[in-house]
């Protein structure tokens, strides 16, 4: 019986696939025929551009056409197969090398003509130029001119995948329905969906891939932004708390502060104030570079809620940061008669916190979201360093109130394209101004042979009454990677380099009481040098610390380096950051240069995003980053903005149509539902 194939047919039953290939395709996320149709090439070989062997360059991938003169197969000690073909055309010959495809030795024979794409590389072992094979095809004289190159997995070969992709399109492309409204498609000059899919898989010429890719990238962004927009519209339609703002009280509080708010802080406070006065829940992201003064905004916003009879929950990612917020806020004007509680793993175990209904502001860690923790009248939820929490963790805290206002804060500058993707359903406020009196930190690259000079500089700073942070990537030595460990480094520095000084140690494995003790000693000046892991990355505020040394700086992303550097330069004294690194790779050199050239967190975040890509940008995969089929938030930011506007315009014009599209297409972007849902 011949099986009828449709879009939902398991890919195994497509002609030419079978159980083994289906298992390999599953590794690539391809389960159905529809998955295969939306599994697009990563690149193309343009075989209309054939290079002569004598004219090959090492600049990029090229295509050659020639005859096999000789075949040699080798097996390395690790049983790794290396096939070497001598290929000749009328201009000369070259050795083409293919790795770990031993079956090719049985397929090829001298005299056979091939079309090969690959890259010219110099082999220092053999002392000759070689052509490293990326793809090949037997030259029949009627070969396709543009050949798609798909992502592969071990055991799945290029020609096989091309053939089954072609079979899928031949059988089921006509079943793909155009879902984008024609009016919207024409307005944005987008080609049809089936045309885009066909041209992205098998273009007759490379120029066809440009409008095809634009259409499919637009689809990715449009679907995702539609989910964000629908969520935002739903929240804005909900009945929230309308706070009565006592402007005189707020003005008196600001007058009583030991410093004047910056114009950026005043602007952001007004934006939050307008949200809190409205009849709908606030849903706002507050971005501000390290040291820009987000905590005072959170404290003043909390007082607005408290003076209206509501409770506030402020959740921080670490006990150190929660304790620091607590210590700082209780000293602020307006908080003398406010009942402030601290709830962390340590305080909960020690039963130091009474019932939460006796507190106006509760500052805590993940302990706040435990099932046993309940609030009497939660009106405002503030999440600090929100990227440290998963979507569900943030949602759990919000659910402890009835449509409370929601403010998330981050000191990690987020590039605009990433902010529109991750937090596109939030209103956005930015503190883009540092308080006066801050002196920009000077940053230096220190190679290993200059380490002693850095130590001497540290000694001079300490003699002048300053303190030093030294950051190491690991807590203890690993047998797999040769990195400096905080434990061994602290001991070495105390014993061999600074025996006359006090060297402290802080890391994530210390118990809360021990961490608090170390931080108190450092803050009080009893410790001159604090060796730490990245536990100090967020929020630690020691104005007297003027030197930061980062060991193995090449192991950190730019945003993390910037966060670490933000622990110094918090006073008027000049601060210095030393990056000790083995900067051999181009990427690590680029990161270090960027750190030296700029103290602008937003500029560094853009560079970091381009260097590392969105998936590794401070580990935000947990935060709902979607797995787009085609779209790239770095390359396609212009399309992202266009699709976002189109999605939000459609919601405003015809919310029912928008909901129907979301319900039919929302699952097409993996992660879109998680990213667009906080309830």
Of 371 and 553, the structure prediction assigns the larger pLDDT to 553
**Rounded mean pLDDT of 166-194?**
95
Per-residue pLDDT, 346: 66
Half-sphere exposure of 230 (CA within 13 A, CB side): 23
Q: Answer for the pair 360, 337: CB distance below 8 angstroms, yes or no.
A: no
Per-residue pLDDT, 201: 97
The bridge status of strand 113-123 relative to strand 128-138 is antiparallel
Q: Answer for the pair 401, 378: CB distance below 8 angstroms, yes or no.
A: yes
Per-residue pLDDT, 678: 34
Assign 346 to helix, strand or coil.
Answer: helix
Q: What angle do CA 397, 399, 404 make, to 5 degrees?
A: 90
pLDDT above 90 as % of the chain: 48
Closest CA to 244 of 303, 330, 329, 332: 303
* Residues 233-247: tens digit of each pLDDT: 888 888 889 999 888
Q: How far apart are CA 440 and CA 412, in angstroms?
A: 17
* Residues 306-362: tens digit of each pLDDT: 999 999 999 998 887 888 899 889 999 889 889 999 998 766 554 544 456 679 999
Closest CA to 201 of 37, 47, 63: 37
Phi, psi dihedral angles at 146 (to 5 degrees) = -115, 120
Per-residue pLDDT, 627: 76
Per-residue pLDDT, 419: 77
Closest CA to 305 of 375, 233, 399, 387: 375
Q: How far apart are CA 144 and CA 398, in angstroms?
A: 57
Of 24 and 290, the structure prediction assigns the larger pLDDT to 24
* Residues 453-487: tens digit of each pLDDT: 999 999 999 999 999 999 987 655 443 343 457 78
Per-residue pLDDT, 539: 57
Six-digit token string for 579: 């990056």
Q: How far apart are CA 658 and CA 653, in angstroms?
A: 9
Least confident of 360-364, 370-374, 616-620: 616-620
Where residue 617 falls among pLDDT bands split at 50, 70, 90?
Answer: low
Q: What angle do CA 352, 354, 356 make, to 5 degrees?
A: 125
User: How is residue 538 annotated by DSSP?
Assistant: S
Per-residue pLDDT, 448: 86
* Residues 404-448: tens digit of each pLDDT: 999 999 877 777 777 777 777 888 899 988 777 677 899 999 988
Q: How far apart are CA 94 and CA 70, in angstroms?
A: 11
User: How is residue 670 annotated by DSSP?
Assistant: B
Max intra-chain CA distance, the chain: 92
Q: How far apart are CA 600 and CA 587, in angstroms?
A: 19
Q: Which helix (H) or strand (E) holds 469?
A: strand 467-471
Where residue 589 falls among pLDDT bands split at 50, 70, 90?
Answer: confident
Q: Which helix (H) or strand (E) holds 549?
A: strand 545-550
**Rounded mean pLDDT of 189-210?**
96
Where residue 679 falls among pLDDT bands split at 50, 70, 90?
Answer: very low
Per-residue pLDDT, 351: 52
Per-residue pLDDT, 648: 94
Six-digit token string for 40: 């697009």
Q: How far apart are CA 265 and CA 288, in angstroms?
A: 10
End-to-end CA distance of the chain: 48
Assign 109 to helix, strand or coil.
Answer: coil
**Whose structure tokens read 């290939």?**
21
List residues bridging with 553 in a β-sheet: none
**Rounded mean pLDDT of 522-541?**
80
Mean pLDDT taken over the chain:
86
Per-residue pLDDT, 532: 87
Burial 359-390 (b: 16+ CB within 10 A, else e): bbbbbbbbbbbeeebebeebbbbbbbbbbbbe
Q: Where are the beta strands (DSSP E) in 124-202?
A: 128-138, 146-149
Q: Answer for the pair 590, 317: CB distance below 8 angstroms, yes or no.
A: no
User: How is residue 127 annotated by DSSP?
Assistant: T
User: How is residue 308 annotated by DSSP?
Assistant: T
Burial 185-194 (b: 16+ CB within 10 A, else e): beebebeebb
Q: Answer for the pair 150, 135: CB distance below 8 angstroms, yes or no.
A: no
pLDDT above 70 as % of the chain: 90
The answer to whether residue 269 scores a pLDDT higher than 50 is yes
Q: Which long-range contacts (CB under 8 A, 24 or more apart) does 128-136 make?
A: 128/95, 129/56, 129/58, 129/94, 130/94, 130/95, 130/96, 130/97, 131/56, 131/64, 131/87, 131/94, 131/95, 131/96, 131/97, 132/96, 132/97, 133/96, 133/97, 133/98, 134/45, 134/61, 135/45, 136/98
Where residue 615 falls among pLDDT bands split at 50, 70, 90?
Answer: low
Q: Answer for the pair 559, 612: CB distance below 8 angstroms, yes or no.
A: no
* Residues 145-171: tens digit of each pLDDT: 899 999 988 888 888 999 999 999 999
């Amino acid at each position: 019986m011949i099986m009828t194939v449709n879009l939902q047919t398991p890919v195994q039953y497509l002609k030419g696939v079978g159980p083994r290939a289906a298992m390999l395709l599953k590794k690539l996320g391809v389960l159905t025929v529809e998955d295969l149709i939306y599994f697009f090439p990563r690149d193309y070989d343009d075989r209309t551009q054939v290079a002569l062997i004598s004219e090959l360059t090492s600049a990029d991938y090229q295509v050659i056409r020639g005859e096999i003169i000789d075949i040699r197969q080798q097996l390395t000690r690790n049983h790794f197969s290396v096939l070497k073909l001598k290929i000749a055309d009328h201009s000369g010959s070259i050795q083409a090398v293919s790795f770990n495809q031993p079956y090719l030795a049985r397929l090829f024979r001298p005299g056979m003509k091939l079309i090969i794409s690959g890259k010219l590389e110099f082999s220092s072992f053999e002392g000759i130029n070689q052509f490293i094979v990326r793809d090949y095809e037997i030259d029949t004289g009627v070969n396709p001119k543009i050949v798609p190159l798909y992502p592969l997995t071990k055991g799945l070969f290029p020609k096989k995948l091309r053939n089954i992709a072609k079979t899928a399109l031949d059988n089921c492309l006509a079943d793909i329905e155009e879902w984008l409204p024609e009016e919207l498609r024409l307005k944005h000059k987008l080609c049809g969906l089936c045309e885009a899919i066909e041209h992205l898989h098998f273009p007759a010429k490379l120029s066809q891939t440009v409008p095809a890719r634009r259409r499919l990238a637009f689809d990715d962004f449009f679907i995702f932004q539609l989910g964000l927009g629908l969520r935002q519209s739903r929240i804005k339609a909900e009945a929230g708390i309308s706070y009565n703002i006592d402007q005189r009280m707020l003005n008196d509080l600001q007058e009583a502060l030991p410093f004047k708010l910056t114009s950026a802080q005043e602007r952001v406070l007004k934006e939050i104030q307008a949200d809190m006065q409205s009849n709908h829940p606030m849903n706002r992201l507050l971005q501000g570079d390290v040291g820009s003064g987000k905590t005072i905004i959170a404290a003043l916003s909390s007082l607005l809620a408290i003076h209206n009879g509501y409770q506030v929950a402020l959740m921080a990612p670490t006990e150190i940061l929660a304790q620091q917020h607590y210590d700082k806020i209780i000293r602020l004007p307006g908080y003398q008669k406010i009942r402030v509680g601290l709830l962390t793993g340590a305080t909960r175990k020690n039963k130091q916190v009474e019932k939460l209904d006796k507190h106006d502001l509760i500052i805590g860690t993940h302990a706040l979201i435990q099932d046993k923790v309940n609030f009497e009248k939660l009106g405002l939820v503030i999440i600090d360093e929100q990227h440290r929490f998963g979507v569900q963790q943030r949602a759990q805290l919000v659910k402890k109130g009835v449509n409370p206002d929601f403010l998330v804060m981050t000191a990690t500058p987020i590039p605009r394209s990433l902010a529109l993707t991750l937090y596109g359903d939030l209103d956005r406020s930015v503190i883009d101004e540092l308080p006066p009196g801050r002196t920009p930190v000077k940053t230096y690259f220190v190679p290993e042979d200059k380490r002693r000079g850095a130590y001497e500089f540290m000694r001079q700073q300490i003699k002048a009454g300053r303190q030093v942070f030294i950051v190491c990537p690991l807590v203890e030595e690993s047998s797999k990677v040769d990195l400096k460990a905080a434990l061994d480094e602290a001991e070495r520095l105390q014993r061999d380099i600074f025996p006359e000084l006090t060297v402290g140690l802080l890391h994530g494995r210390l118990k809360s009481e021990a961490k608090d003790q170390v931080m108190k000693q450092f803050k009080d000046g009893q410790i001159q040098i604090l060796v730490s892991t990245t536990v100090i990355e967020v929020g630690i505020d020691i104005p007297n610390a003027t030197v930061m040394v980062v060991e193995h700086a090449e192991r950190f992303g730019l945003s993390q380096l910037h966060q670490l550097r933000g622990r110094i330069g918090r006073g008027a004294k000049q601060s210095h950051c030393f990056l000790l690194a083995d900067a051999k790779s181009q990427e690590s050199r680029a990161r270090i240069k960027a750190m030296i050239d700029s103290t602008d967190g937003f500029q560094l975040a853009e560079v970091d995003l381009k260097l590392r890509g969105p998936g590794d940008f401070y580990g935000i995969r947990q935060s709902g980053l979607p797995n787009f089929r085609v779209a790239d938030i770095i390359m396609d930011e212009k399309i992202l903005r266009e699709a976002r506007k189109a999605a939000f315009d459609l919601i405003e014009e015809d919310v029912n149509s928008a909901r129907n599209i979301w319900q039919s297409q929302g699952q097409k972007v993996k992660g879109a539902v998680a990213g667009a849902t906080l309830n």
